[in-house]
Amino acid sequence: MDPEPRRRAALAAAGRAPFDLVISRVRLVNVFTGEIYPAHIGVTAGLIAAVLPGDGPVPDGAQLVEGDGRYAVPGLIDSHLHVESSMVLPPAFAAAIVPRGILTIIADPHEIANVMGFDGMRLFVEAGRGLPLDCFWQVPSCVPASPLETSGAAIGPDEVEELLSWPEMIALGEVMDFPGVIAQSGRTADILSRAVALGTVIEGHAPNLSGRELAAYVTAGVNSDHTLVTPELALERLRAGVTLQLQLKSLAPKTLEVAEAFAKSLNLCLVTDDVLPDDLESTGHLDHILRTAVKRGLSPVEAIRAVTLSPARRMRLYDRGAIAPGMVAHIVLTPSLGEFRAEEVFHRGQLVARDGRLVTALPEFSVPEEALRTVRLAPPGPDAFVVAVERPGSTARVRVMALSDRNTYTAAEQHEIPVAEGRLQWEGAGLCLAAVFERHGRAGTRGLGLLRNALERGAVASTWAHDSHNLLVIGRSAGDMAAAARWAVENGGGMAAVLDGTVIAAVHLPVGGIVSPRSVAEVAAEVRRFREALGRLGFHHPIPFMALGALTLAVSPELKVTDKGLVDVQRGQIVDLFVA
């Protein structure tokens, strides 16, 4: 850091110069001590120079903002998220979240990296510069997430080591290949060992890991987890020194009770992970997680700490996360901690948002042309959805993914399906066909699976399909599936819903096939219409986009499908669609 701003701030703190900004008469939330007390805040050169007693005189400053007894809290910090899940680029993302009081993110760009590799990461880093949002990044450890899929790029141990030298890269992104970590073999183990040797922060992804497997995972160097946890799993992780990163799905009252009782203000963070654009617009982002946690029993100060000081300390960003001398002047004024709403937001001492609106200009950003040309396959026709059967008999026993009606998990089932003229008669079996086409121009592979508890009619195609973002097509008829796939390919990526051969809704995502260059509000409008279309197709899941998008996630239990075929996640291998 340039020493001159700190020198100027020190002089103002000592009373030898006026402050640049004074925010008077606030109720300061001290995340170090857990206290709330009256204060005046003095800011100089983008730093908090001093916090003075609120019962004393208002100090001199070039600018005065009246706190009016509102709470002053540090700018919120999200330490585990994927910007791409909001389907926009960093400038549009900043415009949506900064007015909500979020001023620092540490994002894992593994979605765009799985499509475009270094170029995609460079695109997001450059797009994140000069914003009223401090964007830090994690080096993806999972490109691809699994060897059982084909991504648009591959980032191995050497590339990880190089990327960790970029100044914006401050952590290793979530280590999803937990079998590789536990076995201490293969690419993931090598990537992890490089990060450990460099002393970097390492993010975890450990769904349901427990006992000796969890011990092995943590011993190998991974010490956080953001996946769904029960109170029992939460306590086990806290006892093992693991930082709990609780997202919305883990905010059960009992889990929060355990977290507050045993985290001891050391290793509890609230995070978003994935927030879709219409949810962001309607309910919020990290601010929504904060409000929900308080509503479900977490004490307000502990909740504020979990989105400020705790993530800052975990990510070794020691210059932020609190309102105290020497800290970056990221300050949010709100009338309520429990019903947290950011009324005024200050980024490095400058007012950047008021009453839910950005009040500062964003820098221009142009999308590189190559980022708009990442769907590299011909539209698959109806014949691509024929499932040939080489075995004799009038029926065939097949593996089926049974989608949970609550989350993104799928159970492995077996069904008997009629066979006629050497073809599986899946269209009349009450199931969806799920087809995944490699779309990066690298392998030309196709994987097929069958799915229960999804669409009742029509078809959906999407190039937004975790984590390799190949072309996923799900449907009840080959004709509708071909029509949906054609739209996704011809529009350079996105989502299409088709009924009786007609596209009834679509989401345009031309950048890498996964994000839009438009605003959150514009994309949210398309996403809302797409949700309605899914309802018309008979799909009424509480998290429909993630449920469908995670069908290709080869590290999420239990049976998934990629361009290489059906994946038995626990065994970590491709299995045949047909049961012997």
Confidence at residue 293, expressed as pLDDT on a 0 to 100 scale: 98
65 shares its domain with 125: no
Region 285-301: mean pLDDT is: 98
Q: Quick one: what percent of the chain has pLDDT higher than 70?
A: 100
In whole angstroms, give the CA distance from residue 118 to residue 137: 13
For 425-471, the DSSP string reads: -GGGTT-EEEEEE--SSS---EEEEEEESS-SSSEEEES--TTT--E
Q: What are the pLDDT digits (tens) for 147-160?
A: 899 999 999 999 99
312 shares its domain with 454: no
> For residue 1, is pLDDT > 80?
no
> For residue 439, is pLDDT > 80?
yes
Q: At which of 69, 84, 118 does a domain end?
A: 69
Measured CA to CA in angstroms, residue 338 lies from 33, 344, 387, 455, 467 at distances of 19, 17, 54, 39, 35
55 shares its domain with 138: no
Region 331-337: mean pLDDT is: 98
Region 116-127: mean pLDDT is: 97
Establish if 411 belongs to a structural domain.
yes
> For residue 572, is pLDDT > 90?
no
413 shares its domain with 314: no
Establish if 580 belongs to a structural domain.
no
86 shares its domain with 213: yes
58 shares its domain with 85: no
Positive/negative CA dihedral, 94, 99, 100, 104: positive
Closest to 96 (Cα-Cα) out of 248, 284, 272, 311: 284
CATH number for position 53: 2.30.40.10
Confidence at residue 49, expressed as pLDDT on a 0 to 100 scale: 98
Confidence at residue 387, expressed as pLDDT on a 0 to 100 scale: 98
pTM for the model stands at: 0.95
CATH number for position 195: 3.20.20.140
Residue 226's domain comprises: 74-319
475 shares its domain with 393: yes
Establish if 333 belongs to a structural domain.
no
Structural domain count, the chain: 3
65 shares its domain with 78: no
Q: What are the pLDDT digits (tens) for 223-282?
A: 999 999 999 999 999 999 999 999 999 999 999 999 999 998 889 999 999 999 999 999
63 shares its domain with 91: no
Confidence at residue 178, expressed as pLDDT on a 0 to 100 scale: 87
Region 426-432: mean pLDDT is: 96
> For residue 551, is pLDDT > 70?
yes
User: Which residues does residue 224 pair with via DSSP β-bridges, in sequence order?
Assistant: 243
61 shares its domain with 136: no
pLDDT band for 558, please (50, 70, 90 cuts): very high
Establish if 360 belongs to a structural domain.
no
303 shares its domain with 424: no
Amino acid letter, 518: R
Establish if 354 belongs to a structural domain.
no
Establish if 362 belongs to a structural domain.
no
**How high does pLDDT run on average in the chain?**
96
Confidence at residue 296, expressed as pLDDT on a 0 to 100 scale: 98
In whole angstroms, give the CA distance from residue 66 to residue 306: 27
pLDDT band for 145, please (50, 70, 90 cuts): confident
43 shares its domain with 96: no
Residue 540, judged by CB atoms within 10 A of its CB (0-12, 13-18, 19+), counts as exposed
Establish if 346 belongs to a structural domain.
no
Q: At which of 287, 319, 351 does a domain end?
A: 319
Confidence at residue 482, expressed as pLDDT on a 0 to 100 scale: 98
Strand-strand pairing, 395-403 and 446-452 = parallel
In whole angstroms, give the CA distance from residue 304 to residue 308: 6
Q: At which of 319, 348, 379 does a domain end?
A: 319
Establish if 22 belongs to a structural domain.
yes
In whole angstroms, give the CA distance from residue 183 to residue 2: 45
More confident residue, 559 or 176: 559
